[in-house]
Structure 1
Amino acid sequence: MLLEGWGRYPRFESEALGLGDPLAVPGLVASSRGIIARGNGRAYGDAAIGTRRTLGALGLDRMKAFDPQSGRLTVEAGMLLSDILAAFLPRGFFPPVVPGTKLVTVGGMIAADVHGKNHHRDGSFGDHLEQLTLVLPSGQAVACGPSENADLFRATVGGMGLTGIITGATFRMKPVETGWIRQRTIVAKDLAGALKALDDSDAATYSVAWIDCVARGAGLGRSLIFAGEHATRQEVSSERPDAPLLPLASPGRLGVPFDLPAMTLNKASVAAFNELYFRRGARNGDKPFLTHWHPYFFPLDGVDRWNRIYGRRGFLQHQCVVPPATAHAALAEILDRITRSGKASFLAVLKKMGAGGSLMSFPMPGYTLALDLRVTDETFALLDQIDRIVVAAGGRLYLAKDARQSRQTFEAGYPTLGRFNDLRSAIGAPGHMASHLSSRLGI
């Protein structure tokens, strides 16, 4: 069948098979070549499309064990983060790290070593894993963890599914008193102010910046920084006495029922939206308030099939991370090229990151910028220019978001690639575990 990522570019034919019984996975893996696992299809590009066969993991969706004293949770790899939240937030537990969508599987979170708004303090999802079960290319199922098959564990976390099929995992949920976030909005008039605000928010559990990619001149990089903490029971009872302490996600009321015309998102429409969004956020500057957990962590999940707003050709997400010493110059040049090109990034997010914990993890100390750009011939040329800026700054691109970077860009950003390939060779993964991403990048 024809498969695509969330960005809807590129598209490839692949034989698609569903996984439902963990006991059947070893035989299926051992008898297949050119395979990769696929969760809920939220990788943006070609990471979850096998060159020959794609194994859908959504059938591996059972919870196996939970200890309320420690928060330790064991689940199968196809379990959706949204289902974990629905089951455990009412009991006062929240995942240690969540990405920008709850519609991802635990296996996908491991393979991409997802990070959230708390990476500067708490690291990525892999830093909270106690164990995972991996079916090797030979069909052998092994347990991996920080102290058990540690090299294999460090290669699998962030390894984009290229060491085998993840079938289960154990990690610890963290206790929370409520499902509300106490948010403070910091207004930054330019990029230097945004970076400083993120630095000044190091003590906050969560921090993220919305950045205006259309602003130019003295306003280049103007931003709204959202710092947040899990609200206490006393805070909610005092400020919202009629509100439930542990609310569930509200059902989405909005949706995009069809592909919008290609020019719906243009410089003028995005500039108008950004101006309204900035002014609205600036009005709440430095006035802490309570916000529901769902829009704070997953704002776009409230809009069903929002990827259709970019039209049928789809869009490219470009997410880079650059170290602190080169961040301001590199990010300023990237934003300047975006504004001068006339391209409109509807979504632009800036975050501060800490160190990565695994062999192929994306995070490094520095700042990460994520951009969404509609697929056009000119967009590819623009992103090639931006890639050169990232490489010169000592940064790299996030594989879970990538659909088009070159091998040269990839190899420059991941100096541990040789060690990763050595481990893959040792377990017989080359040619066996293969996605279109790995084929494109020569992994």
Structure 2
Amino acid sequence: MGSGFDSWGRVQRRARAAAHPSEFGSNTPGGFLPFGNGRSYGDSCHNDRGRLLPMRPGAAISAFDPDTGILTADAGVLLSEILAAVMPHGFFLEVTPGTAQVTLGGAIANDVHGKNHHRRGTFGGSVLRFDLLGSDGESRLCSPDTNSDLFEASIGGMGLTGIIEQASIRLMRVPSANVRQTAFRFSSIDGYFDAIDEIDAAHEYSVAWIDQLARGRNLGRGVLMAGDHAEDGGPAKPPSAPRLAVPFSPPVNLLNRLTLKAFNALYYGRAPKQRQTGIVPWSSYFHPLDAITGWNRLYGPRGLFQHQSVYPSENAREITIALIECAQKHGAASFLTVLKRFGDTRSPGLMSFPRPGFTLTLDFANTGDQTLRMLDALDDIVIKAGGGLNPYKDQRMSPRMFEASFPQWRQMEAMRDPALMSDFWRRTAMVLGEEQPSRRQAASA
């Protein structure tokens, strides 16, 4: 048993059983689940009735070709370790999520996205091939041309199709890892939507921070930060260890309404009123919170819930307002409120979360039933809009919400390895009562 397997949300904290990956395939009640670095927010990285398979120990990069930009590494290698290896050669990840402290296998299994989805789609689009170990003991090469059904199900498949052993990805050549950023503040949500078409057409990256507590004519105010890899960005510092840390969880939530109101006013007030362009370090643009170890502990001992939704572009302005107002009506305060556009590039993954439209991310301290009621109300807005919820950011969505978000889940269940299971899949897909056995179960019957 081990206590080092919490998810990032820290809502369910308990000792969890682990096994060596070599034990995968043995007859274990509850099954197995690969575990990367615990940066999923909810229970998609947990299997409390079975055992976890830690993928980090011994993981290494096995090959990198600076001529082609193709890298091969074990699934447990961190994205930060990949960046450290390739940046000196003028390369960068084609798609990077908001933290580099995720494993390569986790980035594939969750088909993570970044600030440039409108240009390059999801992380899965960079994946060339991987080796997938099944509980039958067979390792299968998966690519768009070989075992393509397993390839598609594994990208965004949350680790349920097999164990990704090694993967090869394509990197992109950049003039500098550092970013030429254009930033400006907008006084209401209209300022964002009025500018985003032009911004996304002109820039590789864009992301907006939203002051979720602002009301009235300032509702949805925030700061838009567009960026491109700088031609004159100079040498970029490789990933380094965080200089700050939150070593323990305080007895109360420090990111409460009072502290966030002051923080939001300061952050918004310091942002430029007009568009301002300058060079910023790549780490502060892509992974600002990686500079603080354990920042999630600031939410206190009960942890946090993250609600990340996606909804169509046609009425995105109105839906964004409705989501912000819903949180306000429930008296909730979100520390990390982020708004981005998803483009039209189709992910290669069967269960990928991104789809054309806009995505709003909200973080809330866990206050019990009050928080859960608010999250259900947010779900209702998303469902009515024809949108979906991000499973690897979730700890509590209902089976109904899951099915509305991923109507193709039965295809995924047919591809699931019978020895793999997660708490998330158990409480959503399995509750929906799929009657047909998985393809592999049927084949072995």
Count of residue correspondences: 422
Of 227, 241, 245, the residue aligned with 2:235 is 245
Q: How many angstroms does 1:330 deviate by?
A: 1.6
Q: How many angstroms does 1:338 deviate by?
A: 1.4
Partner of 2:319: 330
Distance 1:408 1:340 in 2: 24
The aligned runs of 1:84-95 (5 Å cut-off) are 84-95=82-93
The aligned runs of 1:164-313 (5 Å cut-off) are 164-203=162-201, 204-232=203-231, 235-236=232-233, 245-283=235-273, 285-313=274-302
Q: Deviations for 1:140-172, whole angstroms, at most 9, x for unmatched residues?
A: 110111111111111100000111111111111
- Alignment-mate amino acid for residue 315 of structure 1: L
- Alignment-mate amino acid for residue 9 of structure 1: V
Query: Secondary structure of the equivalent of 2:392?
Result: coil
1:382 aligns with 2:369: no
Q: How many angstroms does 1:30 deviate by?
A: 4.8
Partner of 1:97: 95
Distance 1:194 1:29 in 2: 50
Partner of 2:443: none
1:442 aligns with 2:429: yes
Distance 1:317 1:421 in 2: 25
Q: How many angstroms does 1:346 deviate by?
A: 0.7
Q: How many angstroms does 1:31 deviate by?
A: 4.4
Q: How many angstroms does 1:192 deviate by?
A: 2.4
Q: How many angstroms does 1:214 deviate by?
A: 0.4
CA change 1:274–1:320 in 2 (3 A) is same
Q: How many angstroms does 1:417 deviate by?
A: 1.1
Distance 2:74 2:386 in 1: 37
- Alignment-mate amino acid for residue 417 of structure 1: W
Partner of 1:433: 420
Query: Secondary structure of the equivalent of 1:65?
Result: strand
Contact 2:180 2:228 in 1 (8 A): yes
CA change 1:255–1:303 in 2 (3 A) is same
Partner of 1:346: 335
Q: How many angstroms does 1:254 deviate by?
A: 1.6
Query: Secondary structure of the equivalent of 2:132?
Result: strand
Of 77, 80, 84, the residue aligned with 2:78 is 80
Q: What TM-score, normalized to structure 2?
A: 0.91
Q: How many angstroms does 1:49 deviate by?
A: 1.4
Distance 2:136 2:26 in 1: 5
Contact 1:29 1:135 in 2 (8 A): no
Of 349, 368, 373, the residue aligned with 2:364 is 373
1:48 aligns with 2:82: no
- Alignment-mate amino acid for residue 18 of structure 2: A
Q: What TM-score, normalized to structure 1?
A: 0.92
Distance 2:271 2:124 in 1: 33
Q: How many angstroms does 1:282 deviate by?
A: 2.6
Distance 2:402 2:298 in 1: 29
Q: Percent identity?
A: 43
Distance 2:243 2:366 in 1: 27
- Alignment-mate amino acid for residue 61 of structure 2: M
Contact 1:390 1:396 in 2 (8 A): yes
The aligned runs of 1:96-175 (5 Å cut-off) are 96-175=94-173
Distance 2:332 2:251 in 1: 16
1:66 aligns with 2:94: no
Distance 1:423 1:248 in 2: 39
Partner of 1:36: 33
Distance 2:215 2:353 in 1: 29
Query: Secondary structure of the equivalent of 2:375?
Result: helix
Distance 1:367 1:56 in 2: 34
Query: Secondary structure of the equivalent of 2:168?
Result: strand
Contact 1:40 1:103 in 2 (8 A): yes
Contact 2:184 2:225 in 1 (8 A): yes
Distance 2:197 2:239 in 1: 31
Q: Deviations for 1:255-308, whole angstroms, at most 9, x for unmatched residues?
A: 11221242422212101100110111135x311100000010001000110011
Distance 1:109 1:384 in 2: 27
Distance 1:48 1:291 in 2: 33
Q: How many angstroms does 1:442 deviate by?
A: 2.4
Q: Deviations for 1:110-130, whole angstroms, at most 9, x for unmatched residues?
A: 000000001111000001111
